């Protein structure tokens, strides 16, 4: 377990005294998603170094800094520390990572657990770091929604009605489809505004999607995006069937999609209910989801871990591809528990390690913090866990029996849940929810 979250210098000093019998994994961020990746790799004896940006306050000792993420207290994390945040200073990030790898005395394997981390590892390309995913050009093609939806159009994969807006076209990569007025006339209100590329939009607006109710709101958002130099699109607000969101969780090796390791997950419950993040996900049998997602990944030439997100449009009565996340995500622990350890498959592809799945079994994943918030809320919500599920959760027996796994809470590895309790009641907010 990483006893402390160290400064960059403190981490380098600690690693200088460490010995590794195989390349360690560099896992960024160091919160819920990073924890899921760390546990998946630790199950196969892979050492983990969790890297993230520091908190806003310095620690009491020169070698430590504050950090509210739940990964560092995990027994699955060997070392944890701060690096320069790549969106602030990519060169500084590269220098920090190279110094950390040099101190470790061995090459390392990078796992970026949010878009900015995955893209920054690819763009910075630090010496001594192996990337178990495609390069930055391919990542940009998949993450750019204009490119993604153009691929969907070509392959016949359904997606929401979307218009690239002329008012921000200069910042984009493709010609515009419509003006603000033309898009408003075609789509009606409410509609949603999305960026072609999420990370700059999230930094500027604190979210990756904005719903607007009328022309005035639409014009204001588009003007603000244009001022920031961010290309955006207007998209029809989909009449989503609650509880029917599905995603393909997959690892595609360099050999291609024919050798992909994949599991379809149904986000049965979100928090908040309609547009929040997943808090109960279960395996699902939807061959069309797998086929369509892999076709898009194959067309892009992408290899690596990804989540391809589909929603069910009640009006069109079909699944629509919304997004592809080219990195691990919040419920990465579900496919791992089901028998498809995507992080270990990715690690094995770029090292001497071996991994082969024994097959996928029905599995459910729950993030108890959000799930309990739903149960305690004012809105009616019918508990989807059984009395036996709750007994297994409280006793810890779910780790040994049954088909249920969790996002953070794990009695055999109590540090992350304890950290979540600690940070839940303090007057500061961690920058990342996943």
pLDDT tens digits for range 244-264? 999 999 999 999 999 999 999
What span, in angstroms and rounded, lies between the C-alpha atoms of 76 and 16? 20
pLDDT for 428 equals 63
pLDDT for 208 equals 85
Which residues make Cβ contacts (< 8 Å) with residue 85, sequence separation at least 6? 53, 93
Q: What global pTM score does this model have?
A: 0.94
Which two structure tokens, joined as six digits, stand for 105? 């005395």
What span, in angstroms and rounded, lies between the C-alpha atoms of 336 and 39? 9
pLDDT of 59 strictly over 50: no
Query: 301 versus 197: which is more confidently predicted?
Result: 301
198 backbone dihedrals φ, ψ, rounded to 5°: -75, -40
Of all residues in the chain, the percent with pLDDT exceeding 90 is 83
Question: What are the structural domains, with CATH classification, of the chain?
Answer: 8-133 (3.40.50), 161-236 (3.30.1490.20), 245-326+331-366+368-406 (3.30.470.20)
Residue 331 buriedness (CB in 10 A; 0-12 / 13-18 / 19+): buried
Residue 16 buriedness (CB in 10 A; 0-12 / 13-18 / 19+): exposed
pLDDT for 172 equals 46
Of all residues in the chain, the percent with pLDDT exceeding 70 is 95
pLDDT of 11 strictly over 80: yes
* SS3 of residue 71 by DSSP: coil
Do 16 and 106 contact (CB within 8 A), yes or no? no
Which CA distances in Å does 288 have to 8, 102, 248?
Answer: 46, 45, 10
Each residue's pLDDT tens digit, 336-358: 999 999 999 999 999 999 999 99
Query: 272 versus 96: which is more confidently predicted?
Result: 96
pLDDT of 61 strictly over 60: no
pLDDT of 57 strictly over 70: no
Q: Report which of 369, 368, 422 is spatially closest to residue 390, judged by C-alpha positions.
A: 368
What span, in angstroms and rounded, lies between the C-alpha atoms of 22 and 5? 23
Q: Report which of 48, 253, 279 is spatially closest to residue 134, judged by C-alpha positions.
A: 253
What span, in angstroms and rounded, lies between the C-alpha atoms of 428 and 434? 16
Residue with tokens 């010496």: 127
DSSP letters, 225-294, are HHHHT--EEEEE---B-TT-EEEEEEEE-TT-GGG-EEEEEEEEEEESTTTSEEEEEEE---HHHHHHHH
Each residue's pLDDT tens digit, 21-51: 999 999 999 999 999 999 999 999 999 999 9
Q: Report which of 277, 265, 279 is spatially closest to residue 310, judged by C-alpha positions.
A: 265
pLDDT for 169 equals 77
Question: How confident is the prediction for the chain on average, in pLDDT?
Answer: 93
pLDDT for 429 equals 63
Q: Report which of 148, 172, 174, 150 is spatially closest to residue 222, judged by C-alpha positions.
A: 172
């Amino acid at each position: 377990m990483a006893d402390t979250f160290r400064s960059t210098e403190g981490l380098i000093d600690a690693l200088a005294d460490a010995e590794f019998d195989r390349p360690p994994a560099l896992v960024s961020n160091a919160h819920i998603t990073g924890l899921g990746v760390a546990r998946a790799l630790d199950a196969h004896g892979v050492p983990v170094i969790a890297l993230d940006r520091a908190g806003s306050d310095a620690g009491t000792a020169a070698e430590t800094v504050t950090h509210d993420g739940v990964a560092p207290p995990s027994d699955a994390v060997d070392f944890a520390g701060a690096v320069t945040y790549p969106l602030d200073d990519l060169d500084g990030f590269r220098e920090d990572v190279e110094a950390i790898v040099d101190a470790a005395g061995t090459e390392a394997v990078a796992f970026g657990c949010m878009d900015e981390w995955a893209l920054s590892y690819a763009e910075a390309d630090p010496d001594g770091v192996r990337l178990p995913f495609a390069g930055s050009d391919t990542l940009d093609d998949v993450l750019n929604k204009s490119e993604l939806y153009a691929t969907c159009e070509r392959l016949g994969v359904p997606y929401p009605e979307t218009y690239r807006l002329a008012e921000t076209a200069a910042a984009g990569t493709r010609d515009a489809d419509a003006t603000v007025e033309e898009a408003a006339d075609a789509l009606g209100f409410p509609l949603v505004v999305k960026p072609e590329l999420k990370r700059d939009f999230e930094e500027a607006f604190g979210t990756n999607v904005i719903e607007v109710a009328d022309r005035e709101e639409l014009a204001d958002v588009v003007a603000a995006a244009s001022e920031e130099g961010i290309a955006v699109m207007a998209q029809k607000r989909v009449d989503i069937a609650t509880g029917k969101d599905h995603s393909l969780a997959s690892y595609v090796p360099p050999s291609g999609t024919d050798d992909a390791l994949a599991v379809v997950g149904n986000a049965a419950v979100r928090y908040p209910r309609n547009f929040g993040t997943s808090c109960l996900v279960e395996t699902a049998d939807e061959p069309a989801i797998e086929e369509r997602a892999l076709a898009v990944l194959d067309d892009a030439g992408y290899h690596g871990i990804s989540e391809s997100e589909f929603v069910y449009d009640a009006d069109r009565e079909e699944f629509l591809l919304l997004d592809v996340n080219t990195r691990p995500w919040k419920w990465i622990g579900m496919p791992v528990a089901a028998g498809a350890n995507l992080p270990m498959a990715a690690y094995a592809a770029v090292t001497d390690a071996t991994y082969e799945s024994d097959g996928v079994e029905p599995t459910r994943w729950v993030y108890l913090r959000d799930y309990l918030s739903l149960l305690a809320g004012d809105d009616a919500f019918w508990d989807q866990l059984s009395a036996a599920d709750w007994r297994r959760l409280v006793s810890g027996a779910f780790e040994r029996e049954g088909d249920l796994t969790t996002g953070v809470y794990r009695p055999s590895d109590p540090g992350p849940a304890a950290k979540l309790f600690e940070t839940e009641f303090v007057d500061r907010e961690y920058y990342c929810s996943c």
